Amino acid sequence: MSTLDDLRRTLDERAGALTDDGLADRAGAVRGRVSRIRRRRAAIGVAAVVLAIGAGVGLRTVDLGRPDAIAPAGPRPELTGPVLGVDVPSSLDVLGFPYRRVDVREIDEAAQPLGGGRSAQAVVLVGSGLAGGGIATLYVDDVAVARVDAAHPVAPAYPIDAGDARLSVRLADAGTDARTALAVFRSDELAPGVAAPDGSAVFRREVAGQRLVGAAWSIGDQAPPVVRVPDGLPAGSTLRTYCRTSAADVGLATRTDRGPLGSEFGCSDEGRDAVSSSTYGQSAEAGAVTARPFAIRGSRDEEEAPLTDVPSDLLVGVAVYAPMPSSGEELLGTAVPEYVEQGGRTWRLSHTVPELAGPVSQAVGQPGDGDRLVMAYSGRGTAGVRWTDARGDQGGGYYQTTNDTDSTGVQDVGVLLGGTGPYVLRQAPPIEDERPARTALAVYEPLD
């Protein structure tokens, strides 16, 4: 299984053996703003939405309507034709969200703001004149996010959630005829899934191989949203909650019929991708999953108080996702997912490094390989990973300082961009008197 189509085909086959007793009541309009940050706010009311589906998966398609789609690009050839003589699509999907090309601009080492306010945008780096080993790397706020060369002149789309992000391109081993440009895409539509009643957010139908089992929303003073799971939640299921309001001191408590699951002190979600909100792993008996807002009083250690004055813009959502496909791998006693999402892409596990200790190094990627995503698993102590590529460039840092328990922390080391491999990874030296943590690595390759 090496492509997104393969993944979806396999999941469809598995879902076909399950029953779908679901009922979607109200899909909502389709607008919103993108963001990868957790917990945010703003919305205005209509009725609650409740969706109930039998355990496993098998989700009835929700008609999102798409009344606010971007108008066709019109006669402007730069929005539909090649860029720097290279074929670039005029529309694309990023994790299910549809985007349409709205601008093309040349870019160089001088940083320039993306613009566009807080609208949902994505950029595609395009290069030409890079024969002879030249490469061009796109930086967003000084972080390398995409790269092109003569063999791969078009980079994958990279979503950006803030118009004030500053973008630049750095060339290496490139001749005087090298040119780079950005194709800018914008989205005013939601991905398929269960949308909030005001159309500002959505629980996507599929997230890193996990299929949506059921989702519900409420807005304003409507009753708290409830997802009913008649056959119970299989082990490895994921509950996700979303809470947004402009009012201060509002939290969210999630529970199942078996009892409380967890509390969040602060309803600060924002953005249209609701799956970036809080998550819980759960295995429960048949029954209901409820997300109920409460008032925060004093410190987080104090008890939750009933919410007597409900803000009119309070938006609450809860969703249940089926277990993710198992990779069969474990690192430091923690299961390693077969698929993850990062940077607007879906990644599949390539291999693991059971331990990265002291001066021992691990090579990742070869000169002809594409991008690789590295996740660090660490035990108690301070964990850090450093990398060096074939050009001598270095990066990485310290990723996790766990508490005094034996829990395992998982951190994103970052995407190692293709074209300058192999990368050599080493454990970073400990900070002062900090105890160095045991560290293992999971290496992923993209499905695009």
State which of 155, 187, 219 marks the end of a domain. 187
362 in the same domain as 220: no
- pLDDT value, residue 35: 34
More confident residue, 217 or 22: 217
> CA 403 to CA 391: how far, in whole Å?
37
- Give pLDDT tens digits for 15-41: 443 333 332 332 333 233 333 333 333
* Residue the block writes with tokens 């706020």: 141
> CA 319 to CA 19: how far, in whole Å?
18
- pLDDT value, residue 412: 86
Structurally, the chain folds into a number of domains equal to 3
Question: Picking from 5-14, 226-235, 313-322, which range would have the lowest pLDDT averaged per residue?
Answer: 5-14
195 in the same domain as 263: yes
364 in the same domain as 252: no
101 in the same domain as 52: no
- The pairing of beta strand 210-219 with beta strand 226-229: unpaired
Question: Picking from 43-47, 75-79, 337-341, which range would have the lowest pLDDT averaged per residue?
Answer: 43-47
Task: Confirm whether 251 is domain-assigned.
Answer: yes
- Give pLDDT tens digits for 41-59: 333 222 233 333 333 332 2
- pLDDT value, residue 184: 96
* Residue the block writes with tokens 């602060």: 266
370 touches 446 (CB < 8 A)? yes
Task: Confirm whether 429 is domain-assigned.
Answer: yes
| Average pLDDT of the residues in 352-359 | 81
- The pairing of beta strand 91-94 with beta strand 49-52: unpaired
- pLDDT value, residue 346: 95
- Residue 193 gets the label, from left (phi > 0), alpha (psi -120 to 50) or beta, of left
391 in the same domain as 312: no
More confident residue, 378 or 56: 378
Percent of the chain with pLDDT over 70: 76
- pLDDT value, residue 290: 85
Task: Confirm whether 413 is domain-assigned.
Answer: yes
**CATH number reported for the structural domain that contains residue 364 in this entry:** 2.60.120
379 in the same domain as 236: no
- pLDDT value, residue 80: 86
State which of 167, 187, 207 marks the end of a domain. 187
Q: Of 234, 174, 195, whose CA–CA distance to 14 is shortest?
A: 234
267 in the same domain as 345: no
State which of 254, 287, 321 marks the end of a domain. 321
* Average confidence score pLDDT of the chain: 78
Task: Confirm whether 148 is domain-assigned.
Answer: yes
The beta strand positions in 158-307, using DSSP E, are 158-160, 166-172, 179-187, 193-195, 202-204, 206-207, 210-219, 226-229, 233-244, 250-256, 259-264, 278-284, 287-295
Task: Confirm whether 71 is domain-assigned.
Answer: no
CB atoms near residue 186 (< 10 Å): 16
| Average pLDDT of the residues in 144-173 | 93
- Give pLDDT tens digits for 304-330: 788 888 899 999 999 999 888 889 999
Confidence of residue 297 (pLDDT cuts 50, 70, 90): low
Confidence of residue 3 (pLDDT cuts 50, 70, 90): low
Task: Confirm whether 299 is domain-assigned.
Answer: yes
317 in the same domain as 197: yes
More confident residue, 315 or 382: 315
**Count of alpha carbons within 13 Å of 294, Cβ hemisphere only?**
20
Confidence of residue 191 (pLDDT cuts 50, 70, 90): very high
Q: Which residues contact 289 (CB under 8 A, 6 or more apart)?
A: 226, 227, 228, 229, 233, 239, 254, 255, 256, 261, 318, 320
> CA 267 to CA 269: how far, in whole Å?
6
More confident residue, 171 or 433: 171
pLDDT of 302 > 70? The answer is no
Task: Confirm whether 131 is domain-assigned.
Answer: yes
Confidence of residue 381 (pLDDT cuts 50, 70, 90): confident
Amino acid at 412: D
pLDDT of 4 > 60? The answer is no
250 in the same domain as 179: no
Secondary structure (DSSP) of 52-69: E--SS---PPP----TTP
pLDDT of 272 > 80? The answer is yes
Task: Confirm whether 72 is domain-assigned.
Answer: no
108 in the same domain as 87: yes
Q: For residue 118, give its domain range.
A: 77-187
Percent of the chain with pLDDT over 90: 42
221 in the same domain as 165: no
| Average pLDDT of the residues in 98-117 | 93
122 in the same domain as 52: no
